[in-house]
Amino acid sequence: MSDIHIRDCGPTGRITLTRPQALNAVTYQMCLAIEEALDRWRDDKSIIQVVIDAEGDRAFCAGGDIAELYTTGMRRDFTYGQKFWADEYRLNAKTYAYPKPVISFLQGFTMGGGVGIGCHGSHRIVGETSQIAMPECGIGLVPDVGGSLMLARAPGCLGAYLGTTAARMSAADAILAGFADTFVPQDRWPDLISQLEGGASPQILENASEPTMDGILASQQHLIEHHFCGATLDGILDSLRNDDGGFAKSALKSMERNSPLSMACTIEMLHQLCGPSLTIEQALSLEYRFTYRAMQHGDFLEGIRAAIVDKDRAPKWQYADHDVPAEAVRKMLAPLGDNELKLEEYGHGSA
């Protein structure tokens, strides 16, 4: 497959995303190919670890390739998207619970579907150009691919802030928020990958780590706690509107671009997911309830139209006044009955 290069390199399985011209956006077939490789290497005693990287300087993976989702959705064929998300989430769950080290090198943009590919492994390496984000509310989705798990576990109310504003995280910010583990200067990455291919253990990554450049989230955390710990979207927006400071104005401007329904559901998801017993399965199942309905009842198709198709950047969101009824949130996140995400059907055990 020209979009991805999968091979055995000595005792290390290698997965390289090879769509730099498309910022390595992950397609459905790429997800299936990665899953097949992980399944094969899991039971191969000669493979001790997996390395995931990507070609190009601009992005590890800037998201999912959503063109086919839009095309099928506009034909009122919602089954393609529902199957796509179910299969993608199965890959996310397998990566999270993988019994061997999974080492990802996250240069440039790592967003949306790229977070699902690169941020569930055991060793997540960031560098000078890394920018990680969950921008789904901007296209009428919610943070998914297991991203809600990391947002729910982020310190304080960082998760609500990152999920509703789509703020981009530098390397230091990503480590603080739990989306990455180790900062290593990017000029050292090729040599480290060569050593891993030769059988070196992931310990070499810790030995190569350096202090990160300063991020901004740590300095903003008191403001985030003040504004983003509200139980509802209304509460958060009211708090921001009553603050004339620069942080509040910037956050409010970001949120005003995003789908109100998506933001309200994101906040409710994070409240439901908080707690020490949270699992990847719980997060993915809740995400799937939203994405299963996103085309028919949410703002997804309108979000893609405005951002990708017509590129007018003027989406006509539901609840444009940001007054999202609680019942609308409940409907998007209600159990799906027989259509609930069933990860156990694919041989995935409890994480």
Is 50 exceeded by the pLDDT of residue 347? Answer: no
DSSP assignments along 174-189, one per residue: HHHHTS--EE--GGGH
Confidence of residue 214 (pLDDT cuts 50, 70, 90): confident
38: phi > 0 → left, psi -120 to 50 → alpha, else beta; which? alpha
Spatial separation of the C-alpha atoms in residues 106 and 288, rounded to whole Å = 25
* Share of residues in the chain with pLDDT > 90 (%): 94
Phi-psi region of 56 (alpha: psi -120 to 50; beta: other; left: phi over 0): left
pLDDT at 245 over 50: yes
Residues involved in catalysis = 64, 113, 136, 144
Closest CA to 81 of 96, 68, 98, 62: 68
Backbone angles phi, psi at 133, to 5 degrees: -155, 160
From CA 98, how far away is CA 122, in angstroms rounded? Answer: 9
**What's phi and psi for 44, nearest 5 deg?**
-95, 110
Q: Which residues contact 78 (CB under 8 A, 6 or more apart)?
A: 72, 295, 296
Q: Could you give all domains of the chain from N- to C-terminal order, each with its CATH number? A: 4-346 (3.90.226.10)
pTM for the complete prediction?
Answer: 0.95
Torsion angle (degrees, nearest 10) of CA 325, 327, 331, 334: 130
Best CA proximity match to 234, nearest among 325, 148, 155, 335? 325
Strand-strand pairing, 4-9 and 59-61: unpaired
pLDDT tens profile 321-341: 999 999 999 999 999 999 999
Whether 349 shows a pLDDT value over 80: the answer reads no
Tell me the per-residue pLDDT of 144-165, one tens digit each, with 9 for 90 and over.
999 999 999 999 999 999 999 9
Q: Which two tokens stand for residue 12?
A: 């290390």
Side-chain-side CA neighbours of residue 318 (13 Å): 22
Q: For 155-205, what is each residue's pLDDT tens digit?
A: 999 999 999 999 999 999 999 999 999 999 999 999 999 999 999 999 999
What number of H helices and E strands is found in the chain? Answer: 16, 9
More confident residue, 119 or 1: 119
Please say if the pLDDT value at position 116 is more than 70: yes
C-alpha distances in angstroms, 130 versus 61, 87, 97, 202, 279? 11, 27, 24, 20, 27
Of 105, 122, 93, 77, whose CA–CA distance to 34 is shortest? 93
